[in-house]
Structure 1
C-alpha cells in the first residue's frame, strides 16, 4: 500500500514527513486531528508545480503579445520596462525584477475582457513551447507534485495555488493540469473595469497591475481569498517564505515544504542566483524555521509529467 502512495517520490525524509503529517491530521480522535474544513494546502506555481527556467512562463506569453503591440506602436521599443523585453535583454529583464514582468503582462493584456483573455491564453498554452526543452510548457508540470495534490485531496484537503504569476493565465490550465479549479487559484492580477460590451456585462482588463502576489502579499491574499490559514504550504523561493511561515504559524499541526532545484541533469540547478525569484533565506534558515527541504535530485524519481 505504502509504495502505491506518491510513487514518483523516493523513500526519504521528505516523503516520510508528508505521509506522517497527513496520517496525523486525518486520524479521527488523534491529538493532531484537523477537521476537513481546515485542511487547506497552498502551493506556489512557478518553480513549485512547473518549470520556471530560464524565465517564468508568463514572460514568454507576454512577450508574444508585446511583439504584436510594438508592430502597432513602435515607440514602445524605447519605453521602460518594455524596451528590455523587446530587445530580449535577459540581464536587464532580470535586473528589473519579477514585478516589472507582471507590469508588462498587465499592460499587454489591457483592453481584453476576461472571456477574451481565456481564449487567448488557452490557444497559446496549446502551442507554447519551452525554448530549450522543446516540450509544451503544459507538459513541464512536475509529476511528483501532481501526485501529491491528488494524495492530499484524497485525504480531505482542499488544494490552492497561491502564485506570483498571473491569476488568469494559471486559471486557464490549472484544472486540467493539477485538478485545481479556477476559484482555488490566487495570483497577481490586473485592475479591471466593469463594462457593457454589446449589451453583455463584462470585466475589461486595465493596463495597471492590481495585486502583485509575492512575498508578504501572499498571506494577505490567502486571508482575503481563502479565509483560512493553510496547514500545509509548498514553495521554492524566498518569495514563498512568508506563505510557508504563515502556515507554520498555526496553533495546531502544520507542514511547510521547500523545493530545491538541484538537478541539472533532469531539469535545472539554481537557487540564490536566480534574480527574478531567488532562494537564499528560506534555504539557509529552513531548519531554524521548521521547513522541510525537498531535493529534486534526491527525493524525486521522475520530474515531468511528460517523462516516459
Structure 2
C-alpha cells in the first residue's frame, strides 16, 4: 500500500485528508497549530508526526496543501524540512497556490535528491473539498501524472494535466485572477448599486438574466441580498495573496497587467482598512461604506 504523508490540514486540506481515508489510503499528517482539528481524521485511522522531515522519512507520496510560496519553501527546504527526510522515488504533490518560478526551483531540488514532483493546485471551495469534488490542475511528467491519478481521484472530480512542472500553478493563477477579479468587479458594482438606491434583488435578477450571470454572481448573491458570507468562504488576505502572485507572474512574463493592478489595489486597501481575515463577500459592505472623491 502506498503511504501518503500530508502537510497542511486547513479548510481545504482537511477535506482532502478525509477523502483519502474514505478511499482506504494510508495517511500520516503533520501536526501544526494552523491545522483544523484532527480528531475525526485520527479516529478514521490517520497517524500524525511532528516534523516534515519525519513525515518524509515514512512517505511514498507527500501532499502539500499550505498557504503559499513561503510556506511551501519552508516545509520543503527548512532545517527539519521534507528534503532532509526525502527517500529516493518519493513523489511530492504540491496542491498549494504558489509562484511558478519558485515551484520550478523547489521541484528541481526535489528531483536532484531523487524525488519526483507534481504541482497540483486546486479550484473550488472547502465544501467541494469535503465532498471529494475538487478540480485539480496538474503540472509535471505525463507518465507520473497517470501513475498518481488514482490518488488524486480520491479527492477530485475534474483532473486536468496542464503540461510541464509549473504549468499547474500558472493555470491556477490565471483561473483565480479571472475568478476573484470578477468577484471584485461585482462587489464594486453591488456597492455602487447600494449607494445609488438600486434594489439588491433587482440588481441580482437583472445581472443573472444577462451578461453578468456566472459563478461569481452566484457566490456573491447571499451577501448582496441577505448580508450572508456563505457563498464564498475565502479570506481577503488569501485573495490578495493570489492576485499578488498573479501580478508577479505577469511581471515576470512582461504581460499586460493594468486591470490586475486595479484589482490587487482594491484588495490591498480592503485588507488595510478592514480585517484581512474577513471573507471576500464582505468586500461589498466595505466598498459601500467607502467614499471616493
TM-score, with structure 1 as normaliser: 0.27
Structure with higher helix content = 2
Structure with higher strand content = 1
TM-score, with structure 2 as normaliser: 0.28
